[in-house]
A and B are shown apart, each in its own frame.
Chain A
Amino acid sequence: MELHEKTTAKYHSLDYEKICASSEFQELLAAKKKFIIFTTVFFLGFALLLPVFAFYSNWLTKPFYGSISWAWLFAFAQFVMTWIICGLYVKKAAVFDEMAAQVLSQAREGRS
């Protein structure tokens, strides 16, 4: 067993500037940016609204069903929201992975 350092010429000779300039890579970045920024703003907002509503409004203490108030519904919604975003990201990331693989294979082909 030995520590495998990828210092072989193959990896070091990647032309990073050229990859950065390529349209495929820029597309990958744009797609990631769009999804990640939108999702992050959404979940941060959704999470921080809980204490905001809890301390600066009254509607959370109103009953939703029987003795279960809106506060508890909103609380459990935090779990559901987290699991859904997690699932959505996994689907999106599979697309990003393919785009990234394409970028790399093109960069390596283009050089040889």
Chain B
Amino acid sequence: MDIKVVSMFLLVVLITLLITFYASRKTNNASSFYTAGGGLKGWQNGFAIAGDFMSASSFLGLIGAIALVGYDGFFLMYGALISYLVVLLLVAEPLRNLGKYTLADMIAERFNSKKIRGVTAFNALTISVFYMLAQLVAAGALFKLLLDINYEVSVILVGLVMLTFVIFGGMTATSWVQITKAFLLLGGTFFIFILVMSKFDFNFIRIFEEMKTATPLSGAYLDPGAKYTNGLDAISLTLGLILGTAGLPHVLSRFLTVPDAKVARKSVVYSIWIIGLFYVMVIFLGFAAARFVGADTIMAANPAGNMAAPLLAEMLGGDTLFAIISAVAFATILAVVAGIVVTGATAFSHDFYNEILKDGKASEAQQVRMARIASIGITIISIFIALFVQNMNVAFLASLALTVAASSNLPVILFTVYWKRFNITGAITGILVGLIGTMALVAVSPNIWNPVPGAALFVGEPLFPLTSPGILSIPLGFLGAYLGTILSSKKEHTGNFQEILVKSNTGSDVKGVNHH
């Protein structure tokens, strides 16, 4: 165990505890636990959104992917940036104008139905657990590499630190940990970027020239096709990335932490610039890792390439920079996991406990207590599952969560706000078809089935040829919502469409904002 790495990790823990201490004094009612009282400023929420997205899998995974497979690594990232245009143009503002604490609030604003609230909240919890699994598995692998402690201990450790600030500081602490981490991650990335560029004499043409011969792939490194051989798979992956973000519960809940739609819009604009600039730097960091660290060394440390960024830092700035970048990666995992847990706990406490069980009459204190219990519950369940799936590919788990989000939540969000004829049956069939359809396609995909023994969970020919099911499952979700609506009784309640049309477009009734 490296003393520098350990002390940097302790520093990260100390900073999060300090933030928690200040935030806990403000966490005195349900609204502040769920959504930081709706009081974040545009730039703050923008950094927090960007922070939610710059997860360990994007920082470590993408740099590794670019380093090992070159151009094909780009397919894993750019769809995610473009997904924020979907969020900006179609989802963020209606969500802020209609929702209170959760996505289910927004749907229930049109259809006053407990059934729909329950289904939406259940789906939010499912997606959150999948997304959290991806982060926990990544955390376990990272700790094993950096601190040389075993997977089980690492996952439990991350869970405990994260729970401390979620329980005491709720969404306020989570947001500030996220903002702080976004600054650290951007700063660290920018510093390495400058070091890397100076090694190339700031000559962009030369970088591409050198990359042609720098890797075992030689010329093919800079062309598409080194990883993906099936074009349909690449298109399907891109589609899932573009449409997935707008359905991720923990990203959606970020738009309920601001006071109005204008601030929600501003925060997406901030995050689009931050994520875009971050990704541009990530491309060149990936190049530099391939050029200066070398594919062999990167693969030896971790076959998936996850150690490319820390190894590059070590090569450029010795063990101090290595320790700093590793600690930033640790902070990233903590912050992202916390955001997911708060969102899941809110869905449980607000939707299931308060709205469904208590008819919206639970006291503030009861709700905060239930949210804390739910946080602990979700963490324990996720840690428990994470202990069994440690050999699953992290990117696969994360993309599964994204595809479920795109196939189940997005159709219902869009139809609720934009389709007059939409009804309760359509909303329920949309979510269920999207959720179950995605799961079923994954269950018969090459992720689970491979004719070569040991390459996947089961031995055999996959029934569905693509690793990313988005291209089929997303249309299925929309179709489910459409058919459910069209085929159900014409007399069925279509909700107060006119009312939500006005509210969604004018912001005449924004809920869940604390006024001091």
Place the interface of chain A in its size category. Answer: 35 or more
A34 to B79 alpha-carbon distance, docked (Å): 24
Interface residues of A in 1-58 (CB under 8 A from B): 1-6, 11, 14, 16-17, 19-20, 25, 28-29, 32, 36, 39-40, 43-44, 47-48, 50-52, 54-56
Q: Tell whether, in the assembled complex, residue B78 and residue A47 are in contact, meaning their CB atoms are under 8 Å apart.
A: yes
**How far does the Cβ of A35 sit from chain B's closest Cβ, in whole Å?**
8
Query: Is the contact region of chain B dominated by helix, strand, or loop, or is it mixed?
Result: helix
A6 to B515 alpha-carbon distance, docked (Å): 11
Q: Tell whether, in the assembled complex, residue B514 and residue A32 are in contact, meaning their CB atoms are under 8 Å apart.
A: no
**How far does the Cβ of B284 sit from chain A's closest Cβ, in whole Å?**
12
A-B contact count (CB 8 A): 150
Question: Do A100 and B506 contact each other (CB < 8 Å), given the known contacts A40-B90, A54-B224?
Answer: yes
Q: Tell whether, in the assembled complex, residue A55 and residue B234 are in contact, meaning their CB atoms are under 8 Å apart.
A: yes
Interface assignment of A68: CB less than 8 Å from any CB of chain B = yes
Q: Tell whether, in the assembled complex, residue B280 and residue A83 are in contact, meaning their CB atoms are under 8 Å apart.
A: no
Chain B residue at smallest Cβ distance from A97: B262
**How far does the Cβ of B411 sit from chain A's closest Cβ, in whole Å?**
15
Partner of A71, one of B71, B82, B265, B273: B71
Q: Tell whether, in the assembled complex, residue A48 and residue B235 are in contact, meaning their CB atoms are under 8 Å apart.
A: yes
Q: Tell whether, in the assembled complex, residue A85 and residue B85 are in contact, meaning their CB atoms are under 8 Å apart.
A: yes
Q: B-contacting residues of A (Cβ < 8 Å)? A: 1-6, 11, 14, 16-17, 19-20, 25, 28-29, 32, 36, 39-40, 43-44, 47-48, 50-52, 54-56, 60-61, 65-69, 71-72, 75-76, 78-79, 82-83, 85-86, 89-90, 93, 97, 100-101, 103-104
Known: A14-B508, A16-B499, A68-B205. 12 other contacts (CB 8 A): A16-B496, A40-B85, A40-B86, A51-B238, A54-B224, A67-B209, A75-B78, A79-B280, A82-B82, A89-B88, A93-B265, A103-B506
**Can you name 20 A-B pairs with beta carbons within 8 Å?**
A1-B28, A2-B515, A4-B515, A14-B502, A16-B501, A28-B505, A36-B89, A40-B85, A47-B79, A54-B224, A54-B225, A67-B211, A71-B222, A71-B224, A72-B222, A76-B280, A82-B276, A83-B276, A86-B88, A89-B88
